[in-house]
Amino acid sequence: MLVDAHNRTIRDLRISLTDRCNFRCFYCLPHGEPSWAKKEKLLTFEELEYIAAIFVSLGIEKIRLTGGEPLIRRDVPVLVEKLSRLKPSLTDIALTTNGYDFARHAEALKNAGLDRVTFSLDSLRPERFREITGVDGLDRVLDSIGIAHRLGFRPIKVNAVIVRGRNDDEVVDFARFAIDHDLSFRFIEYMPLDSGHDWSRDMVVSGREIRDAIDKEIPLTLKNTSRGSSTSWKYRFADGLPGEIGIIAPVTEMFCGACSRIRLTADGQIRTCLFSTEEHDLRGVLRSGASTAKIVEFIKAAVLKKEPSHRINDPDFVQPERTMSFIGG
């Protein structure tokens, strides 16, 4: 078991497959060409399979593949197939994607054993979608969501980062979209993880504000009375309509006390928190030819250093150097 110094059991591993992305969401990546990790630094699928097996032997139950845009990496279904061999100890393999390339991999991913998919979608208006992501791709993302539905991925989650003045006028439209497509639509508060370091508190639309705006138009009923290790408050639509919404409010309603997550960056660094300022070089240990026992020791030591909480709301908060796309959101 992986237990940290604050008695939290770590059960979820997020693996970033690449720091690269075909989008340039303004709250995540800079415009232009960022300095990507060199290819030889990325963990290979064989390395990931080996490390994932160790993590699962230590009690990891869920693995989420993310990035950057994970589907930029070639042959992701091959990796999913390798990870599937870790079931049933591994209970869940999920993917977070911007959806642009999902359609052409969807069937192979399903056949390889992918259990769940989460899409990111920050606007339902084509022009605004382009402004936010830098890509004219709304239709492709909507198609991908439809395909995920048809292939039987359930639940399908869709994430939107709500930023004041950019897309906060769409929250009710997003809720209607959740009803029309029977989705779990999750609203995420904007976090200081943008490459431009432009984040400011007044750009954050609080979870409460989002919930109230929806509730006014479409009454909501709270589904979970505690968040447990989940990051979101879940609501169903009071009139028995399909779909649900989730509110993820890391800035205004911190949930670190129940965090069960750990992250592995594409270049093989363990990050114990999104907001860590320290990383643990698992790639270095692995490539030094260390034994499995040494790797286990290294992972356990890293977990013991997991931060008690993020410090976004502290006056001396320092934004981590690496942004979401590099950390693996």
Query: Contact residues for ligand SAM (CB under 6 A)?
Result: 21, 27-28, 66-67, 69, 96-98, 120, 159, 161, 188, 190-191, 193-194, 324-325, 329
Please report whether residue 24 would count as binding ligand SF4 according to CB under 6 A: yes
Q: Does 298 bind ligand SF4 (CB under 6 A)?
A: no
Q: How many residues line the site for ligand SF4 (CB under 6 A)? A: 13
What's the CA angle centered on 39, arms 196 and 290, to 5 degrees?
110
- By CB under 6 A, residue 23 contacts ligand SF4: yes
DSSP single-letter state for residue 194: -
Residue 142, token pair as written in the block: 């909507």
18 binds ligand SF4 (CB under 6 A): no
Closest by CA position to 21, among listed 250, 320, 327:
327
Give the integer Cα–Cα distance in Å for 250 and 248.
6
Q: How far is the CB of 67 from ligand SAM (least distance, A)?
A: 5
DSSP of 295-320: HHHHHHHHHHT--SS--TTSTT----
Tell whether residue 28 is a contact of ligand SF4 (CB under 6 A).
yes
The one among 2, 11, 68, 255 contacting ligand SF4 by CB under 6 A: 68
**Of the two residues 195 and 260, which places its CB atom closer to ligand SAM in the complex?**
195
Interaction partner, residue 144 (ligand SAM, ligand SF4, none; CB < 5-8 Å by kind)? none
Q: How far is the CB of 319 from ligand SAM (least distance, A)?
A: 10
Q: Least Å distance between CB 35 and ligand SAM?
A: 17
- We find the least distance from the C-beta atom of residue 1 to ligand SAM, in angstroms, to be 27
The yes or no reply on residue 120 touching ligand SF4 (CB under 6 A) is: yes
Instruction: Let me know: does 94 contact 119? Beta carbons within 8 Å.
Output: no
Residue number with CB closer to ligand SAM (21 or 299): 21
Q: Where are the beta strands (DSSP E) in 42-180?
A: 62-66, 92-97, 116-120, 156-162
The token pair that represents 181 in the structure block: 């497509």
Sequence-distant (≥ 6) Cβ neighbours of residue 281 within 8 angstroms = 268, 269
One character per residue 211-250, x = contact with ligand SF4 (rule: CB under 6 A) = ----------------------------------------
Sign of the four-CA dihedral 40, 320, 129, 220: positive
Describe the crossing of helices 171-181 and 138-150 by its angle, rounded to 10 degrees: 30
Residues in contact with ligand SF4 by the rule CB under 6 A = 21, 23-25, 28-29, 67-69, 98, 120, 324-325
